[in-house]
Amino acid sequence: MFIVPTYVSSSPIHGIGVFAGEDISDKQEIWHFARGLDLVIPFDTIRRAPQAFQDYIEMYAYISPQIEGGMILSCDHAKFLNHSDQANTTINGEITTARGDIKKGEEITCDYRICCAGWTGF
């Protein structure tokens, strides 16, 4: 769950992305896994779900190396985070912090190689 203001808009990286709604300072906590709001959906539940839901999960959820038990589905704009090899965030367990200052209106990115288990690129 983002704990800083964000908004979704058109992204030069990929379709739509998440943008900072205010200036964010270096090392500031910007997201944390919020049990009960962010969901861990068990793999067997996904396999039994209708194909339309499986397609949604494939697009918006991810397998986290830090959080076990299934695929993670964020409750907020975090599902629109785009990948960057030079991401402006870093992950430590269930907490994401800014890696450098992020200006209001700047796209917030993460490195899928770190936050998404098994991600091999586009």
The per-residue pLDDT for range 34-65, each reduced to its tens digit, is: 998 999 999 999 999 999 999 998 888 888 87
Could you tell me the CATH number of the domain that includes residue 34? 2.170.270.10
Assess if residue 122 is contained within a domain: no
The per-residue pLDDT for range 59-87, each reduced to its tens digit, is: 888 888 778 888 889 999 998 998 898 99
Assess if residue 25 is contained within a domain: yes
Structural domain of 26: 6-115
Question: How many structural domains are present in the chain?
Answer: 1
Contact 27, 79 (CB under 8 A): no
- Which residue(s) pair with 98 in the sheet? 89
Assess if residue 12 is contained within a domain: yes
Assess if residue 49 is contained within a domain: yes
Assess if residue 120 is contained within a domain: no
Closest to 96 measured CA to CA, from 121, 71, 116:
116
pTM score of the predicted model: 0.86
Residue 36 in tokens: 């009960």
